[in-house]
Amino acid sequence: MTTDTALRDQICLLAKSMFNRGLTGGSTGNISARTADGGLLVSPTGTSFGRLDPARLSRFDAQGTLIDGDAPTKEMPLHTAFYDTRSSAGAVVHLHACHSVALSMMPDANTDDFLPHLTPYGIMKMGRVKLLPYFMPGDPAMGAAVRGLAGKRSAVMLANHGPVVAGKDIEAACNAIEELEDTARLAMLTRGHAPRGLSDDDVAQLVARFDVDWQS
């Protein structure tokens, strides 16, 4: 079982890795993970993924009360919406990643199945990604929109803003959101070139083989 100290260190290590590779910049993005006692560790408001301090992460108890650390991200409604509607969620990550944001602004963006089926990995790690409309940063309506999905999606894309992904643990959530951004990058790089994506049969085989949650 991961200790509280080890989880704090892992959150900061993975966040810094994403920051260093340009997946979210400045003081953007937020990240959280379930603790062994059912609480949460959350990145504080206004902090950079490149400079998170393990000792200053916001610490919530199992009842959702802040018990230690700095004030949490203003996007807490997004995080709690995933935890409350997906029992398998052990971590949630939100980035301001350039290519996925760019794809969300395209006039033909698919709201129900945001990522084109270009490689197997986005399908295997996330299933269908829901494109949600634009909300002002910090608007609790973002959390309400996620709750409205009733736990059917592990990943959403906030239009003009950034992706949010829930995973079974912090490593899985980070791997999945990186795959989301990579797929969006491929989509933007190949846009207008009629790329050969996966067929419907290819997708069906992946869903069956890897037990992908492919709910509409």
Output the CATH code of domain 4-209.
Answer: 3.40.225.10
Instruction: Kindly tell me if the per-residue pLDDT of 8 is higher than 60.
Output: yes
- Domain coordinates in residue numbering, the chain: 4-209
Answer whether 0.75 is exceeded by the pTM.
yes
Mean pLDDT of the chain: 96
Tokens 């959101």, residue located: 177
> Would you state the pLDDT for residue 87?
95
Catalytic: 121? yes
Of 176, 200, 195, 199, the C-alpha closest to 121 is 176
Q: Give the pLDDT band (50/70/90) at residue 1.
A: low
Tokens of 200: 């419907």
Mean pLDDT of 65-74: 97
Of 118, 71, 82, 125, the C-alpha closest to 99 is 118
**Percent of the chain beyond pLDDT 70?**
99
Tokens 């398998």, residue located: 88
HSE, CB side, 13 Å, CA atoms: give it for residue 117.
Answer: 18
Looking at residue 57, its amino acid is: L
> Would you state the pLDDT for residue 178?
98
The Cα 32–Cα 89 span in angstroms is 10
Q: Which of 121, 139, 188, 190 is catalytic?
A: 121
The Cα 194–Cα 199 span in angstroms is 14
Mean pLDDT of 180-195: 97
Tokens of 207: 């869903």
